[in-house]
Chain A
């Protein structure tokens, strides 16, 4: 087995992995990115629509264009192993050992002092949302369809029904229409769409694709290939099967949520948060295993790649500090308060600037994010509109906390009013 040694190993070469690796390299440490596909870029490569980079580059790019800028930045000073899958990470005596399998180079053992997990996420599938019925061909996740159409030029059907109104589903509604398919409906269980309003207009309304809010697909039918789906309205919280109607179709695309890819993390002994399904991390984005960090969709699912890049750069910077043995003097617990599903990271370093990402539990206009330290208000941020599908980001720095008496067991609580 080939052996290699680096200061830092980055698992996954998507937006997160590339940004973290650049940061480590810029500080003068050796770093390797291991990526299972034959190119860097991750999920961005199949997102050929635009809408990427508004905060990062202040312009509107397509996914591949956005990826290209980071790929260019990784060409020097970073070792890149493509076509290589990390199958296991061991952690013994402060050294991390990763086994990388490759059809080109066999097994490579990579040893490193620190690891950044950046494996991205996977799509929830039919089993996860438990849609009954038969199991014919023609049922696939929207992301897989996106990959087949945009990268391989393969069209997986003709008459399409899309389950879930998240952005990927909406974008695929338009993409399938452009590819000559008929999209008969987008079915959403919630009473509001879960994708951006912009996408509802540009991907559905412009093509007269009906959106059924408060409806579920209650059954998939067909022997060899899908022939129809049953659609049932949800009334006061439960499906009313008496009002079920059928839509004929040969394809069902599922856009029913993303989950952090956490198998490798779990096997490395990293503790997983049941709310985000990603690792529990401290203020430095370090997991419960010393020297293993996480950023991007593997940590929690982000809506915008710009946030992923930002978070991953910070992870890279924290790794550098870790290698320099600069540890925070103390960290305070951060806790989700009223109307908040989760806040990441779950710790705060009161001696420096902290950036947080959070998801609300509610849809609300004129909302205020309120940050309290042991029930003393330290910060208020106004938002004209919030909804669960849109992440909120804010900062808390030493200035915000200066007035307060901070104890070691102080708690920062983030709520929405």
Chain B
């Protein structure tokens, strides 16, 4: 059946959250994604911070949705079980004059409705964060700030949506949209098509192109790149809170972020680029990151680098989210320009877009049976040896280690493949296999074999991510 009430274009955090919100209602919903898996766009390469509502003025829609989104995370975590921790955010002042800026942020946050903000002395700062540079003079503390693993959040949203009836179509790159009667006919590059009464444009960096396909509003998304380094779990530089500097003229500020999984992220840079596919990293940008990070945490060391990566902020000129029913064409809702704090705001964006769809004429009736909870998948990394042993009596593959750096078992890999994550990158983000310090040096061949065994494909058919990303080109 290719006829839907609502089609969502783009399975990043925005599309995923909209899909999950809509799955409460008696609607046929399809989520369309051009990549082989969900969350492979901006939603996988960012700081992973759940912001605390003090960074921007309330005049922006993004600020209001940030504040609303923040408080929704505790419940979502309970229902969906993704890695999330309210570790708190510290904005640190290294000079006396920085304290004035912190007071402005403090006031702004209070007006925005951010909870628990505290101006901290030097002593209090060091107590909250012993790893901080000794020259620190004070800080702003936001205990409601937190960290998540963004892709695991998106995976969970999508899984929950699918559990409640939403259909997911991957490798569906929307290319053409055509109005046929009361419906939109959406055609992918490979010839597949679906039709829907309403369409949500959540295409991230490509939301402007998608709008153009509908003959709708003209706007342009300008990618702004942020590069990062990821540091090993064993690093001595792991802070217990997210650390923000006070922005300077030259730099918006490089952060030191303790990830939920115990690694450390430093970055991001901010650089306007032309190419929406350009997630490359460069030497000079990466060097700046270390310099800046060391100003806050002196123990940050090049020796701890596991990898570097970059993400592109899908920014609009006015700096705000563009959430609106199209005024040009019928049945289209834009969820575009979702730059930072898009992750934080995502749960609130879901609700907001639902309301926009109502405004556009869509009727919504709550389902009798909506199951908000996802069954928790065992992760042996978090289990005791005795628990692993008892899991192994049912499926011995829970005791078969595939990825030793992140301690991922073969059973977890197989479960992920069965859930549709059958590429190397998809598996990596879903299970963490290959994400640790050896970056797949040891486990790649084991993962290849497991994919082949589980799906019945040959080695040359396994992909890293895209259609042309074969790992093996020939078999002897």
Contact = CB atoms under 8 A, between A and B. Distances in A.
Contacts of A85: 401, 404
A87 to B, nearest CB: 6
B119 interface: no
B396 A147 contact: no
27 contacts: A1-B385, A103-B396, A107-B385, A107-B399, A122-B442, A125-B441, A126-B307, A127-B230, A127-B306, A127-B308, A127-B439, A130-B308, A132-B282, A134-B280, A135-B279, A137-B471, A141-B441, A149-B476, A155-B475, A155-B476, A180-B474, A223-B466, A223-B468, A225-B468, A225-B469, A263-B234, A263-B405
Interface of A: 1, 36, 83, 85, 87-88, 99, 101-107, 109, 122-123, 125-128, 130, 132-138, 140-141, 143-144, 147-149, 151-158, 179-180, 218-219, 221, 223-225, 250, 263, 266
Contact of A1 (B281, B389, B465): B389
Given A132-B282, A144-B444, A225 B438 contact: no
B388 interface: yes
Nearest to A142: B441
Contact of B281 (A133, A152, A266): A133
A219 B280 CA distance: 9
B219 interface: no
A405 to B, nearest CB: 41
Nearest to B307: A127
Contacts of A250: 473
Contacts of A106: 388-389, 392-393, 396, 399
Contacts of B459: 152, 154
Q: Taking each of A1, A127, A250, which has the highest tally of chain B beta carbons within 10 Å of its own beta carbon? A: A127
Contacts of B438: 122-123, 125
A158 B476 CA distance: 13
Contacts of B281: 132-133
Given A103-B399, A109-B385, A224-B464, A132 B404 contact: no
B469 to A, nearest CB: 4
A102 B476 contact: no
A101 B441 contact: no
A88 to B, nearest CB: 7
Contacts of A219: 280, 282
A102 B400 contact: yes
Nearest to A152: B445
Interface in B254-286: 277-283, 286
B470 A107 contact: no
Q: Taking each of B407, B441, B444, B459, which has the highest tally of chain A beta carbons within 10 Å of its own beta carbon? A: B441
Interface in B430-476: 437-442, 444-445, 448-449, 459, 463-476
Nearest to B282: A132
A137 B234 contact: no
B400 A101 contact: yes
Given A128-B305, A144-B444, A147-B445, A103 B469 contact: no
Nearest to A127: B307
Contacts of B473: 155-158, 250
A154 B475 contact: yes
A312 B1 CA distance: 65
A104 B396 contact: yes
Nearest to B424: A137
Contacts of B283: 130, 132, 218
Given A103-B400, A157-B473, 5 more contacts: A87-B401, A122-B438, A127-B230, A148-B445, A154-B476
B131 interface: no
A291 to B, nearest CB: 21
A223 B401 contact: no
Interface string B371-400: 000000000100001101100110011011
Contacts of B397: 103
B410 interface: yes
B386 A107 contact: yes
A4 to B, nearest CB: 14
A342 to B, nearest CB: 16
B406 to A, nearest CB: 11
Given A122-B438, A218-B283, A221-B280, A135 B389 contact: no
B309 interface: yes
A133 B308 CA distance: 10
A1 B390 CA distance: 8
B441 A107 contact: no
Interface in B52-100: none
A99 B438 CA distance: 22
Nearest to A134: B280
Contact of B399 (A101, A151, A224): A101
Nearest to B397: A103
Contact of B388 (A104, A107, A130): A107
Nearest to A109: B385
A223 B439 contact: no
Nearest to B436: A263
Contacts of A157: 473
Contacts of A149: 476
Contacts of B393: 106
A83 B392 CA distance: 14
Contacts of B440: 140, 144
A141 B444 CA distance: 11
Contacts of B401: 36, 85, 87, 101
A102 B464 contact: no
Nearest to B444: A144
Contact of B441 (A87, A144, A224): A144
Contacts of B286: 130, 132
Nearest to B411: A103
Contacts of A125: 307, 438-439, 441
A298 to B, nearest CB: 14
Contacts of B389: 1, 106-107
A1 B476 contact: no
Given A103-B396, A103-B400, A106-B389, A127 B305 contact: yes
B445 A137 contact: no
Nearest to A157: B473
Contacts of A107: 385-386, 388-389, 392, 399
Contacts of A266: 234
B472 A148 contact: yes
Given A122-B438, A134-B279, A224 B469 contact: yes
A132 B399 contact: no
